[in-house]
Amino acid sequence: MESIYIQTPLGIAKIEGDKQGIATLSLVEDVALSNEIPSCLQEAVSQLNEYFSGERNAFDLHLNPQGTDFQKKVWKSLEEIPFGKTRTYLEQAKILGDVKAIRAVAAANGKNPLWIVLPCHRVIGSDGSLTGYAGGLWRKKWLLEHENPMRQQSLF
């Protein structure tokens, strides 16, 4: 498994993967940035940089997250949430076919190993609140504002 550490507007990201696909994309603290990009991670680095620069609103990467079958089903459903849109945990549970699984869905979202690529930041509370984000609610807010097509332009 290859890895790289890159700077993003939200902190240092660690990308891990191999020829089977990207396994993890997470935030880390206090590590040195990488100087060279392994060939199997070049596309992920490129697409992540395009996302943060506003040039990309969907990822096209081969993914290889590790988890239970249920977690993988939940994570796959995250890919269906359009850029700039949100879905509630209840809506996600309904789409997955079991309204009573809302807590299990939320727990699986919390274990999402592919930060941003599988957009769990687009899942919000039923009352519209920004709840449950492992990277911190300030990052969730930043990501949703970054993806908002109606961004407020500065007047000055």
Where is pLDDT greater, at 2 or 30? Answer: 2
Mean pLDDT for all residues in the chain:
93
Domains belonging to the chain, first-starting first, are 2-52 (no CATH), 69-147 (1.10.10.10)
pTM of this prediction?
Answer: 0.90
What burial class does residue 134 get, using C-beta atoms within 10 Å of its C-beta: 0-12 exposed, 13-18 middle, 19+ buried?
middle
Please determine, for residue 49, whether its predicted confidence score (pLDDT) is greater than 50. Answer: yes
Q: What is the pLDDT of residue 141?
A: 95
Q: What is the pLDDT of residue 156?
A: 47
pLDDT in tens, 76-110: 999 999 999 999 999 999 999 999 999 999 999 99
Please report which confidence band the pLDDT of residue 131 belongs to, taking 50, 70 and 90 as the band edges: confident
Alpha-carbon distance values, 129 to 61, 71, 73, 85, 101 (Å): 30, 23, 24, 14, 20
- Which residues are catalytic, by number? 120
